[in-house]
Structure 1
Amino acid sequence: MAIANFKTNSTPTITIFIIISFFLTSSANPTTTTCNPVHHHNSSHSKCTYVKTHADCHPKGYINYLQIFYCNLSRFPQLGILVLLTWLAMLFYVLTNTASDYFCPAVEHLSKTLNLSPAIAGTTLLPLGNGAPDVFASVISFTASGDGGDIGLNSILGGAIFVSTIVVGILSLLISHRRKIVIVDKPNFIRDVVFLLFSLANLLVVIVIGKLNFWASILFASAYVIYICLVSYMHFITVKKQSIPDDDRAHDPGLPLLVRSADKLVPKKSVVMLILYVIGLPLYLPRRVTIPMITQEKWSKPFAVVSVVLAPIMLALILMGSKASVITWSLALVIGFALGACTFACTSSTMAPQKCLFLWYASGFLMSVTWAYITAEELVSLLQSLGTIIGMSPSILGLTVLAWGNSLGDLATNVAMAMHDGPDGARIAIAGCYAGPEFNVFVGLGFSFVVACWLDYLAPYVVPANLYLCETVGFLIGGLLWALVVLPNREMRLDRTLGGGLLAIYFCFLFVKIVRVVGLIDVSMSIKTL
């Protein structure tokens, strides 16, 4: 089953959305963040001293962005913002590119090696590839200090409402504009939307209660198993009735994933692409020499040898850090050089390995997860620092910048698939628009809750106090109900009524958020007055 480049390089578009977001929120009052007292200092020297001497100003990532902004670039604040925005766009690119070029091939080959059925693979390994950036960013945010959990919740919900309204709405309008007739598979559509509503109802209960313990988080995440069982059952019934060949997986309406054709999305090489390749080499090379890849089109024996040598060393560095002992480093070096020697002696220079494939794919899977983890950790750390610098709640950044950044790739590839692959492509794209957010809510947030509860097992995890999370869930539910009512009444055809209504719902949601951020509406003061 082919899944490739489902997250396209949408860095320029991401940057535009980031600039719009900051412009719209530039007049916001400073909010309470972990390092917000830095704004009480007038001189650049005092701000730099405060950032250096207070632990709350040291983010969890590897780079101290606040120190760079307030110390190294204190005399050039505009340049500092530009540098941080550029690095933010690059982190988005690395995260999505790691998922598409490294994580997804490993997931695809693992599913084939394990002989998973299309339905099972489509609800376990493969959706993890589609939602990898969102899941990693969510897990990292929940383990971060300060407003990290708030960022994670808002990024998942923001991405879900963007995909289920903007992406589905644009697809419906484009299909209607081209006068195409696309009939969505009714049983699978109702299944996906109803389960997404069920997941949001569970999340709403968690938000209202305000806390959950370890076993409740396990129960929340494990609800996805019910969905897997239902999808498998429906897939079995479909195969039994229609006798679908095993190779016809891309047209199986029961698969809640986006199977995308890379050949139609990758532009032809040119001088510009060559320049971009050279510029991106510092981002490409470290991953290439640490993530084992054995696909025939990307097979390189030198890279394979180097990657198996460096992978254990990198894992020791990430897991142990400065606390690693001499024994740990020695063991990592011995394992790395032993694997490198075996790879050099047992592999061909022209042909990818044909034996021990599970170990190769599993190692590629593990290292791609490691890189996604590192990048997501740095991304969340940068968002928290930007929230401090501009005096804006990190939750708003998660709801807009992080959600848009992780969802624009879905918009680009879904539109391309619907326009070029005909009705079947449009059906698969629509299915992914609902199955993807469902996976992110149940697995992304569910696993994040489990990790957060495990870190402090005896005490329940306290959900960040945010009055507007319920509002976001409400708009998301409204978009789902609109689709659930309109599509069956219009014989499951994608048309302007569905698309226009979904776009209107999202822009109403965005309008409410922007109006509140710029200070025209202050709900908290109204509540206090009452």
Structure 2
Amino acid sequence: MKWWKKSIHRYGGLQIREDDCSFVWQIPANERCEWVKKTDDCNLDSLIQYAEILFCTFTTEYPALFILGLLVFVLWLLYLFLILGTTADNFFCPSLSVIAAELHLSDNIAGVTILAFGNGAPDIFTSLVADDDEMVIMFTELIGAGIFVTAIIAGSIAIVSPFRISPKPFIRDCCFYIAAVCWITYISQDEIVHLWEGLSFIIFYLLFILTVVAMQFWDNKEERRKARIPALHDPEMLKTFLANQDNEPEVHLPVRSTAFSVKAKLDVAIAAEMANARARGESIEKENNDNESTTSQTDRPDNIYSEFIYDINPISKNDWKKSNLIMKIILVVRSPAMIILQLLIPVVNETAVKNGWSKLLNCIQLCITPTVALFKLDVWRVSFGPLPIVVLFFSLGLIIGVVLFLTTHKDKPPKYHNIFAFLGFMSAMLVVYSVANEVMAILQCIGFASGISDAMLGITLLAWGNSIGDLISNVTIARRGYPRMGYSACFGGPMFNTLLGLGLTWTISAFNHPNYQTKIRSSDMMPGCLAFLLCSLIASFIYLNIVGFIARRSYALIAVSVSQQVLYSYPFVIPMLHFNITNLLGRWYTYARIPNEYETFADCSIVDMSINNNTLELTMSSLNNQTGFVEQWGSFGVPVPRGFSSQYNLKFLPLARQRDSVVTVLNTDYKNFAVIELIQISEDARILQYAWIWSRSRKFHQTYLNRALDVLQRNTINLNCFELVNHDRCPSPDNFLPYEQ
């Protein structure tokens, strides 16, 4: 088994790699800093070495200081999420909208391709930077984000502004998403992904794009047929027909004074929706925004240097005036990052004055941005003969910048201004990739420092952090009177992120292996995440069909209720197939276990299983190393089910008389070892998970231990929680009498 290379004991005897960074807890506290510095696994692929800072600056010799360090890292993680959202919304989306127009993409094609990529950039790049050991985080993040968006965000929109859903796009997106989830479940069940299976996710999304194109073509054909002017021979009737055409004035959004407005993504999105509404012939309610438009345009200074200072100011006057207290705090907190982003990333924004043209700033960006990109791509050491590439790129950027400065006007963007959108797109992509890499590194550090599983980190911190920006923007769009637009992104967007995130990651991983396949790490939460995402989609599909595609507030109740079950559901494990309970009967010795309330201070643990009157009875006996007495716990007898079931509902006396306990046999060869898991609901409604490794004898052969550890890994049961059971100086087995109720 290749789970570890060089193994030694941890937590009483379970084996791990001594070159694994999690092993730091087995090193004396005063030596952990040096050990972390020397261990390759602790040197994360990130700009900041979080493990070294955590164990050297916030030393574990002082627990309170170490906890403070973890809290600092969590706050830094939240700040990274803020940077991710800001880059995607303020820099990525406006440029992508311009690129879509330059490429002459229709609104529907742009929506499911380039704009979907802009909205899902944090999820996509987070999945791409994940290596094989981080697959669980990546998988649960993508699925967990899908649950969050389709349930929490969709429900929030319905609460803010109930509305009628367009049936055809919803049915299309929902059916494709359901099919995608089913296909992901089928592919991941054997934990092996072949190259063709990874490619199938990308092909599946291409099929979705073709479906969107076909539906758009049909709709356009129908619209043209309905829009034909009737052949009226009477001139008076024709004049009357033309006079009654809709001639309502065109409604425009306020023009922002800067391209970096906090509402950049919102303005671009609403502008696209207003254009689509006019194309459909729908009326658009005019908002009272004339004052804002006038004020925004007169705010900009006339002097070129003052304009430069104005454009790199991280907090615009209009944003500050219109923000509440919480938003003002966010604006202040993100301002250091905004200054750097505004200097590095050019933005072409159709809703800003001069489309975001800032003469001096754009010229400076031509010099700075390519040079900084060289350092991020780690090619800055390359030379062309005696000339370093850094000097070459900076010189070229400087020359182009000077030429641009001398040949353009301050008040009018040049004809080729939209080229800056492509430069901004690539710059924003590098920033998002870099920040996503830091996010994964800090999550790894928090994981092995706190003991939180990768799956839980993915479905909570990472999924929520990447999705909270969508929640705010989509709810804001709904409040502005466009709930359908906010809701339409709740199905197509997560499907794009999931299919492309998993497809690209698994395809690249499989391609890099000699046999063109990759093994994925599974988790007990993975089946649960998929199941609840499927339930969320099916519940939305059935409910909206029943109520005539009207998203009422009751729909929000259903959606949110489904999503809340994910974190409160039983952990999912893989029961043993074709299990025969009669072969498991008899006496077993507990080799290792997760500490539990039944076996406190317990050595020499023994388990006796028997069937009496077709009921299963289980007795746990152990020696209390504090008192020296033998203690026993027994379960109520339960009927033995027919067939080959390896799961049983048991109740243990006397501590858990009223608690249902589900005992699952994960694996056994009946003669040498068995791995058992127990799930129980505590009195305060918490879910408790215990596990045991059993042996038929007090001595456990290494081969069977390896098999047992492999079973625990496949069920993502945390090995750090286990303790080895001491079987030295045990009483004679005859002293462990059968339990009497």
What range is the shorter-chain TM-score in? Answer: 0.7 to 0.9
Q: 1:83–1:52: structure 2 CA closer, same or farther, 3 Å change rule?
A: same
Superposition deviation, residue 279 in structure 1: 4.6
Q: Report the counterpart of residue 127 of structure 1 in structure 2.
A: 116
Letter in 1 for 2:391: S
8 Å contact 1:188–1:253 — kept in the other structure? Answer: no
Q: Which residue of 2 aligns with 1:335?
A: 396
Instruction: Say whether 1:318 aligns with 2:376.
Output: yes
Equivalent of residue 217 in structure 2, options 222, 236, 239? 236
1:11 is matched with: none
Q: Secondary structure at the match of 1:351?
A: coil
Q: 1:270 to 1:477 in 2, by over 3 A?
A: closer
Shift in CA distance, 149/321, structure 1 to aligned 2, threshold 3 Å: farther
Equivalence for 1:491? 548
1:122 Cα deviation from its structure 2 partner: 1.1
Distance 1:322 1:347 in 2: 31
Among all aligned residue pairs of Structure 1 and Structure 2, give the percentage whose two residues are the same amino acid. 26
The yes-or-no answer on 1:287 pairing with 2:341 is yes
CA contact (8 A) 1:155 1:403 kept: yes
Question: Could you give the per-residue CA deviations for residues 42-93 of structure 1, whole angstroms, max 9, x where no partner exists?
Answer: 42x2111221110001111111111111101214223312321221111001
Mean Cα displacement is larger for which, 466-475 or 110-119?
466-475
Q: Name the CA shift for 1:322/1:209 in 2 (closer, same or farther; >3 Å).
A: farther
- Find 1:107's aligned residue among 96, 112, 117: 96
Aligned-residue offset at 1:334: 3.2
Quote the Cα distance in structure 2 between the aligned partners of 1:168 and 1:287: 31
**Cα offset for 1:519?**
6.0
SS at match of 2:378: helix
1:305 matches 2:363: yes
Q: Aligned to 1:520, what secondary structure does the other structure show?
A: strand
Counting only pairs closer than 5 Å after superposition, residues 269-418 of structure 1 correspond to structure 2 as 269=322, 277=331, 279-295=333-349, 296=354, 298-320=356-378, 324-325=382-383, 327-355=388-416, 357=418, 359-418=419-478
User: Normalization by structure 1: what TM-score?
Assistant: 0.82
State the match for 2:321 in structure 1. 268
Equivalent pair of 1:162/1:506 in contact (CA under 8 Å) = yes
Contact 1:253 1:428 in 2 (8 A): no
Normalized against structure 2, the TM-score is what? 0.60
Matched, 1:164 2:145: no
Match of 2:485 in 1: 428
Alpha-carbon distance in 2 for matches of 1:97, 1:365: 14
Higher relative contact order (CA 8 A, sep 6+): 1
Match of 1:25 in 2: none
Does the CA-based 8 Å contact 2:570-2:687 persist in structure 1?
Answer: no
Q: What CA distance in whole angstroms lies between the structure 2 residues aligned with 1:391 and 1:70?
A: 15
Q: Secondary structure at the match of 1:350?
A: coil
SS at 1:487's partner residue? Answer: helix
Answer yes or no: is the 8 Å Cα contact 2:320–2:328 preserved in 1: no
Q: Which amino acid aligns with 2:471?
A: L
Look up the SS of the partner of 1:209 in the other structure: coil
Match of 1:17 in 2: none
CA contact (8 A) 1:312 1:335 kept: no
5+ unaligned residues in a row in structure 2: which ranges? 1-15, 228-271, 281-286, 293-317, 572-678, 695-707, 716-741
**Which deviations, in whole Å up to 9, do the C-alpha atoms of 1:393-416 show, x marking residues without a partner?**
122111111111111222222223
2:534 to 477, 488, 502: 477
- Which deviates more from structure 2 when the two are superposed, residues 300-309 or residues 72-81? 72-81
Aligned residue for 2:110, secondary structure, equals helix
CA–CA distance in structure 2, aligned partners of residues 389 and 126 of structure 1 = 38
| Residues 281/302 of structure 1: CA separation in 2 closer, same or farther (3 Å cut) | farther
1:510–1:519 Cα change, 3 Å: closer
Give the aligned partner of residue 75 of structure 2.
86
Q: Pairwise CA RMSD of aligned residues? A: 3.3
Residue 307 (structure 1) shift: 1.1
User: What CA distance in whole angstroms lies between the structure 1 residues aligned with 2:693 and 2:140?
Assistant: 22
Matches of 1:444 and 1:466, distance apart in 2:
18
Structure 2 vs 1, CA of residues 442 and 502 (structure 1 numbering), >3 Å: closer, same or farther? same
Match of 1:198 in 2: 179
**What is the deviation of 1:321?**
5.1
Structure that is richer in helix per residue: 1
Structure number with the higher strand fraction is: 2
The 5 A counterparts of 1:113-192 are: 113-141=102-130, 144=131, 146=133, 148-175=134-161, 180=162, 182-192=163-173
CA distance in 2, matches of 1:205, 1:516: 29
1:407 aligns to what SS in structure 2?
helix
How many residue pairs align between the two structures? 480
**166-175 or 156-165, which deviates more:** 166-175
Counterpart code for 2:56? C
Counterpart CA distance in 1 for 2:566 and 2:83 is 29
Amino acid at match of 1:405: G
Given that residues 214 and 457 in structure 1 are in contact (C-alpha distance below 8 angstroms), is that contact kept between their aligned partners in structure 2? Answer: no
- Distance apart, 1:276 and its partner CA: 5.7
Give the letter for the 1:197 counterpart. I
**Code of the aligned partner of 1:93:** L
Q: Is the 8 A contact 2:374 2:380 kept in 1?
A: no
Contact 1:207 1:469 in 2 (8 A): no
Instruction: Provide the rounded CA distance (Å) in 2 between the counterparts of 1:368 and 1:57.
Output: 29
Partners of 1:276 and 1:478 in 2: CA distance: 35
Question: Contact 1:35–1:56 (CA<8 Å) still a contact in 2?
Answer: yes
Q: 1:77 to 1:293 in 2, by over 3 A?
A: same
